[in-house]
């Protein structure tokens, strides 16, 4: 059975950067994000046991989303100065380790990950998406699971976990987000409608379309009035939070981990001062074996 692990690259780079606050190479360059990313990826691979793997990076904001909502993600702070140069280091590591990666100009990682997951699912593959982004809950199915790093239990989320977290089924998650908004992406929701209220409305009406078509049945006068005023925004939000199909090549041969380049890895680990990883590389029995361990 083919199992594809798709990693949200920027999400894990940021997570690693903030998890390890201070780590520098012998030359004084920051390496905390690189070190944390390598260790996180190793842990994921050991836990999931994927036959195929892809790390996806953000290539910029979706022009369609920005056109629909100019404030989309505009509130996000600049990338920390010590993190930016480490992204190149992580990419160098992935290349040396033989791990496939993708970054498309103007393509948000979420959209590419969703497209790749759908294509793999259609081919009968199992897919695990590694990300804390709640948008991915809308993709969860019998074959697509979500590895949320915020879940300390390490379980791959299925329909059950999505229902417990959101109060709605995966197929309703986009409507749930459209109603309550998403502060992370600077998408305003319906005033007074939070996660529980949005879930309750969808449990009663099934979908946004049904809800907006039957507003007279909403019991709360306050919520009914807010929905009436915000109906156009809710429909706009649906387009913002849904993960569309984008051009995406599904080529199993390009998703397989290639043999690692031991010489390059030794140079990288040595330059970064990763003595433990360097020692592990020497004991791995060659680059082919190391590809299985990293």
Strand partners, 212: none
Phi and psi, residue 5, nearest 5°: -105, 120
- CA 70 vs. chain centroid, Å, equals 23
pLDDT value, residue 283: 59
Task: Note whether 175 and 64 are within 8 A (CB).
Answer: no
Laid out side by side, the sheet with 126-130 consists of: 101-103, 52-57, 3-8, 126-130, 144-147, 156-157
Domains identified in the chain and CATH numbers: 3-158+244-293 (3.40.50.1010), 170-241 (1.10.150.20)
- CA 256 vs. chain centroid, Å, equals 20
pLDDT digits (tens, 9 = 90+) for 202-232: 999 999 999 999 999 999 999 999 999 999 9
CA atoms of 216 and 214, how far apart (whole Å): 5
Query: Half-sphere exposure (CA, 13 Å, Cβ side) for 253?
Result: 0
pLDDT value, residue 152: 86
pLDDT one digit per residue (tens) for the chain, 294 residues: 899 999 999 999 999 999 998 999 999 999 999 999 999 999 999 999 999 999 999 999 999 999 999 999 998 889 999 999 999 999 999 999 999 999 999 999 999 999 999 999 999 999 999 999 999 999 999 999 999 999 888 899 999 999 999 999 999 999 999 999 999 999 999 999 999 999 999 999 999 999 999 999 999 999 999 999 999 999 999 999 999 999 998 999 999 999 999 999 999 999 999 999 999 886 554 444 444 333
Q: Which of 143, 126, 206, 134 is nearest to 164 (CA)?
A: 134
pLDDT value, residue 287: 41
b/e per residue, 111-121, with b = 16+ CB within 10 A?
bbbbbbbbbbb
CA atoms of 244 and 231, how far apart (whole Å): 22
pLDDT digits (tens, 9 = 90+) for 107-163: 999 999 999 999 999 999 999 999 999 999 999 999 999 999 998 888 999 999 999
Angle at 256 between CA 11 and CA 32, to 5 degrees: 30
C-alpha distance from residue 76 to each of 64, 122, 154, 193, 280 (Å): 18, 35, 28, 23, 38
pLDDT value, residue 154: 86
For the entire predicted model, the pTM comes to 0.92
The answer to whether the Cα torsion of 85, 105, 181, 74 is positive or negative is positive
Task: Note whether 90 and 37 are within 8 A (CB).
Answer: yes
CA atoms of 235 and 219, how far apart (whole Å): 21
Helix axes 275-282, 262-272, angle to 10 degrees: 160
pLDDT value, residue 289: 42
The answer to whether the Cα torsion of 54, 131, 206, 192 is positive or negative is negative
How many angstroms separate the first and last alpha carbons of the chain? 22
- Strand 144-147 to strand 101-103: parallel, antiparallel, or no bridges (unpaired)? unpaired
Write the DSSP symbol of residue 257: P
């Amino acid at each position: 059975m083919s199992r594809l692990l798709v990693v949200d690259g920027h999400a894990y780079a940021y997570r690693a950067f903030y998890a390890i606050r201070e780590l520098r190479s012998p030359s004084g360059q920051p390496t905390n994000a690189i070190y944390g990313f390598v260790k996180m990826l190793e842990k994921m691979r050991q836990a999931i046991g994927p036959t195929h793997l892809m790390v996806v990076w953000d290539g910029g904001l979706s022009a369609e989303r920005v056109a629909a909502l100019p404030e989309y993600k505009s509130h996000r702070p600049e990338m920390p100065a010590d993190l930016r140069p480490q992204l190149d280091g992580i990419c160098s590591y992935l290349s040396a380790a033989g791990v496939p990666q993708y970054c498309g100009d103007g393509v948000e990682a979420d959209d590419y990950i969703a497209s790749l997951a759908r294509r793999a699912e259609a081919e009968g593959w199992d897919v695990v998406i590694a990300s804390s982004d709640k948008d991915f809950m809308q993709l969860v199915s019998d074959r697509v699971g979500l590895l949320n790093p915020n879940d300390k239990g390490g379980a791959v989320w299925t329909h059950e976990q999505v229902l417990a977290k959101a109060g709605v089924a995966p197929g309703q998650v986009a409507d749930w987000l459209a109603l309550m908004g998403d502060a992370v992406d600077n998408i305003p929701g319906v005033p007074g409608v939070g996660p529980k209220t949005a879930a309750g409305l969808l449990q009663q009406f099934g979908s946004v379309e049904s809800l907006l078509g039957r507003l007279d049945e909403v019991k709360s006068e306050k919520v009914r009035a807010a929905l009436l005023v915000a109906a156009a925004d809710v429909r706009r939000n649906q387009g913002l939070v849904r993960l569309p199909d984008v051009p995406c090549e599904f080529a199993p041969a390009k998703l397989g981990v290639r043999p690692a380049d031991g010489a390059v890895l030794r140079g990288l680990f040595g330059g970064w001062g990763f003595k433990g990883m360097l020692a592990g590389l020497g004991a791995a029995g060659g680059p082919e074996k190391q590809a299985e361990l990293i």
